[in-house]
Structures are given as structure tokens and as C-alpha cells.
Amino acid sequence: MPAPRQHERASPPRAGRSPAERPPSRSRWRGLAGTALVLGCIALGAAFAGATPDKLLAALQTGLGLAGGDPGLSAQAAQARTDAFDAARPFALAPLSAAEAAAALPYLGLSAGAAAALKTDLDKGAVRLVALTLWDDQEEDGDVVRVETAGYGRDIPLAAAPTRIVLPVDGDNSIRVRGTADGGGGITMAIAVNGKAVPLPPLAVGETVSLPIG
């Protein structure tokens, strides 16, 4: 083999780049672009549908796989909760006695004028006060619901320990529960009726379920 010419020099080997210096692969960029496209389509569709910010957030969570029931809550389990809720309606919530109602009024968080108006309605028999016990029966993760009835509304953070609240109920005989914050995986709660736990259907942020009072 002829000797190499003296003016020809062997090229030094190129130093390889460390993993941190290497640019992202094309497949990674394609994955990120696909995710951005999906989220953009969800947001655009929700906007055209007139979705509220809460519902838009819920849609984005669903697109990212962050919503749709507590971890481990299967579709079958979610349906079982709905069936149990439907079977228990209407809910027998006995009204408070006159003494109990008078003692509870200062704790409703009403202004002096609203409290006086509510007392007048109580005396007339137009409304009655009932007690509702509710809690997060799956996992305490920061879920919050808003309970509304007879012009009264209150935000309730759901805890593992049951929370007892007092509410006015008018001739509508209904309490509405709306999901306002999801700690992750869907809003799950139960209520106590005649000493028994009744699960509510899983709620998304902005979704409302009605509790008919018997």
C-alpha cells in the first residue's frame, strides 16, 4: 500500500455531542405539535359553543386526560353511583325545629337584612331550614361544590370528614349542587340521608345536579 503523501493529514475524529447538547428529535417535535393541535381544536370548539371559562378548563383537562372520574373510578362504578342516587330520590331531610332554626340563623353568613327577611319567611312558613351533611367519599383532593337553594348559596370545600350545613328550602323543594373546583380526577361527594350514605353522580366543573327534597 503506497505511503500517504506528506501534505495529506488524517482528519481528527469529531467529538460527539452530549445528550444535553443534542437537539430534540423530529419525533419529539411531532409529538409536541400533535398535542398543541389537539388542545387548540378543543379550545376553538369550546369557544364556538359558547363555553364558560370553567367549562373550557374542564374540556382542556379532558383532552389532557386529567378528568373523567377519580383514579380507579371505572365507568361501571360511576354508573352505580348514578343508579344509587336516582333510587334514593326524593331525599327526606326533616326541617329543623323552631329552636334549632333560631340557633342556626347566625351561622348562615347572611347580612342583618337578609337574616331578618329569612326569619320573616320562616315565621310565615314560606321556607324551612334543613340540615345537609356532605363529604368527599372517594379521596380528599381539593374538590369544591356550591350549594344553592331558595336564593341562598354557599361554597363548600369537600373533606373526608362529613360537613353539616343548614340551608333554607322553599316551595321548590330542591337543592342544587354545582361543581366549582376539581382537585383532580372529577368531583365526587356523598350526602347522608336517614343515617345512610348516598353517593352523587361524579361532577365536572360547572356541572349541576339537583337534589329533590321529599
pLDDT recorded at residue 48: 46
**Coil/strand/helix, residue 204:** coil
Q: Which band of pLDDT confidence, cut at 50, 70 and 90, is reported for residue 163?
A: very high
Instruction: Tell the residue number behind the cell numbers 340540615, with chain if given.
Output: 131
Q: What is the pLDDT of residue 31?
A: 55
Q: Closest Cα to residue 168, out of 112, 111, 125, 197?
A: 125
Give the separation between CA 108 and CA 87, rounded to whole angstroms. 30
The pLDDT of residue 186 is: 87
DSSP β-bridge partners for residue 77: none
Nearest to 119 by CA among 94, 153, 96: 96
Q: How far apart are CA 153 and CA 39, in angstroms?
A: 33
Task: Share the mean pLDDT of the chain.
Answer: 80
For the stretch 39-54, pLDDT in tens is: 454 554 544 455 555 5
Contacts of 151 (CB under 8 A, 6+ apart): 168
Cβ atoms 145, 179 nearer than 8 A: yes
The answer to whether 150 and 138 are in contact (CB under 8 A) is no
Model pLDDT for residues 100-129, shown as the tens digit of each residue:
999 999 999 999 999 999 999 999 999 999
- Residue with the bigger pLDDT between 149 and 30: it is 149
Least confident of 23-27, 107-111, 155-159, 162-166: 23-27
Domains of the chain: 75-212 (2.60.60)
Question: CA geometry: angle at 169 spanning 202 and 172, to 5°?
Answer: 80
Q: Which residues pair with 129 in a beta bridge?
A: 168
Judged by average pLDDT, the poorest of 37-41, 141-145, 150-154, 207-211 is 37-41
Res 30: pLDDT: 55
- Write down the pLDDT at residue 65: 43
pTM (two decimals): 0.66
Give the residue-averaged pLDDT of 156-183: 96
